[in-house]
Structure 1
Amino acid sequence: MAKLILAEVIEKTLKGITIPARPQVLLNLQNELGKSDPDPRVIVRLVSGDVGLSAAMLKTVNSPFFGLSRKISSVAQAMSLLGIKAAGQIVTGLVLKAAVGGKTPSLERFWERAEKVAGIAYYIASTIPRGPLDDAYCFGLFHDVGIPILMQRFPDYRQTLALAEKDDTQPSTAVENERYATDHATIGYLVAKCWFLPEAICNGIFYHHDPSVFDDKDSFNPQAMTLIAINAIAEYFHDEYFLTRTNYRGETIDSRVLGHLGLQDDEYSDLREDLSKLFK
């Protein structure tokens, strides 16, 4: 398995690249969630106090992925139905989107895909025994956050992505490292660490293009592996269904992904059918 990120790698990576600061609303939210007995009323006030954030949260939880029997109209209802931790992680992902060009026209397609992948990931987590509902949506939205940051730093980054897409001999991160001496997985990891996200999310982001993690189960965070596996299926399904093309990275790790999640072929087929129904 790849080595853990080193201090000198971090220093080299950050040259000329700005990591977005953790917004105050997220700092306050994390302080409350970090308490032994967080107060849901405080969290509701924090989210409701930001009109854009509360609207984004309601739009998110009312999407088909969350399987609610009725539409909800308040942050308090969302908190009650989803639970404090899951709702908190969803808010974290939405805050990230706002902080990294969420309303920038050139990034609309990126965030549209990220939101769909995150929703699919949440749905998949809901179907798996002890699935990581608290983290699945946040990870889906967060895992590629290094891409818009690198877009802002390097004018030719879109061309690099296109080149990486055509190269099926190595992960996109390898192509990025050849050109920029860094990659979007490393940048995403640093953002997650700076924003004090759970270790499983941080490690999952760093290794989400490294299928060798599934060969080293004894020394890698199992929760991070589960997030990587769920997200791999989510991306594979998204690209196949919405873009009508095969995600080759999903193909190369399918067997290990399914094995880690304990999904048999027929169960995987049922999951794909259920996901398809969500979009009809």
Structure 2
Amino acid sequence: MSKTIAADVIEKTLKGIAIPSRPQVLLQIESELRKDDPDPRIVARLIEADVGLTAAVLKTVNSPFFGLAKRTSSAAQAVTILGMRTATQIVTGLILRKAVTGQGRTLEEFWDRAEQVAGIASRIAQTIPRGPRDDAYCFALFHDVGIPILTQKFPDYPQTLLLAENSGDRPFAAVERERHATDHATLGYLVAKGWFLPEAICEGILYHHDPAAFTDREGVSPRAQTLIAINVLAECFHDENIRLRDTSAWARMGSQALEHLGLTDGEYCDLREDLTARFA
């Protein structure tokens, strides 16, 4: 179902914050994809027109976190192997990273982690019947986009994140709103809407920290729930096996994520073994 946010909430969320605009290359690619018979050669040429973007695409698709069996050496090969929709999702994420950046290592680490989690989420989606691989990848890249934007706006926002992560049963967003009168989930939702991402991705971003997203109380769509669930598994695996740190997300939402995806304990163990062999 489509979600709406009250005008006063939007005004408060965006007070003094600029949402990055969607660049022309994405508009051109999406225009081609909307055709009855889209041409992958045109999509590849649009990517190749930007040398920096082409290099970033090749670096991403050839990384172990995307898991291609064979290295690709051109944007045209990437579009052919991955498909136009997947290639577009990767391009969207890379452009977003360029649009929402800043000084210092913290934001670089944020985007590196986001791309790694996206690769893991894409693999998890492949193991689920009719799993939304493309949307899972895009969701993992976008779902925390409000964090670097708020980091740019508020010098003490990293401290807010630490407080929110260690707040126990207190909602993550409540800590953010108390300190900054906004929260990264609502801001991320507005960015995703502004970039015309699929509704399920927008909706999932809005509720990705809320365990109630898996109940009927919030009325969140099944596809958005699936994206949230996949992302919970991907983030927890990444934190525990790559960053080698404990995560509070599993205690909050892990059991609901497994239940929604219909994974038994044995199937989850098998999934972790597969992810470990590929990524850890």
TM-score w.r.t. the length of structure 2 is: 0.94
Q: Report which stretch shifted further, 138-147 or 156-165.
A: 156-165
Instruction: Summarize deviations over 1:189-232 as a string: whole Å, max 9, x none.
Output: 11100111110111011110111111128932211111110001
Please name the residue that 1:256 is paired with: 256
- Is the CA contact (8 Å cut-off) linking 1:102 and 1:111 kept in structure 2? no
Shift in Å, 1:67: 3.1
Matches of 1:104 and 1:192 in 2, distance apart? 25
Report the residue type matching 1:139 in the other structure. Answer: F
Q: Give the structure 1 partner of residue 28 of structure 2.
A: 28
Residue 192 of structure 1 aligns with an amino acid whose one-letter code is A
Gaps of 5+ in 2: none
Alpha carbons of 1:264 and 1:36: their partners in 2 closer, same or farther (altered >3 Å)?
same
Cα distance per residue 1:108-165 (max 9 Å; x no partner) = 1111111111111111111111111121111111110000000111111111112112
* 2:255 maps to 1:220: no
Segment of structure 1 superposing worse, 58-67 or 205-214: 58-67
For residue 83 of structure 1, report the CA deviation from its aligned partner: 1.3
Superposition map of 1:1-280 within 5 A = 4-101=4-101, 105-216=105-216, 219-279=219-279
| CA-CA distance at 1:4 after TM superposition | 4.4
Distance apart, 1:185 and its partner CA:
0.5
Shifted more, 180-189 versus 167-176: the winner is 167-176
Alignment CA distance shift 1:106-1:71 (3 Å): same
Aligned pair in 2 of structure 1 residues 259, 92: CA closer, same or farther (>3 Å)?
same
Equivalent position amino acid for 1:186 in 2 = T
CA contact under 8 A between 2:212 and 2:218: conserved in structure 1?
no
SS in 1 for 2:68: coil
Q: Secondary structure at the match of 1:66?
A: coil
Give the SS at the match of 1:64: coil
CA-CA distance at 1:46 after TM superposition:
0.8
Is residue 164–residue 175 contact of structure 1 (8 Å, CA) maintained in 2? yes
CA RMSD of aligned residues (A): 1.8
Task: List structure 1 runs of 4+ shifted beyond 6 angstroms.
Answer: none
Q: How far off is 1:78 after superposition? A: 1.3
Partner Cα distance (2:156, 2:118) in 1:
27
Counting aligned pairs with the same residue, the percent is 64
Deviates more, 1:131-140 or 1:191-200: 131-140
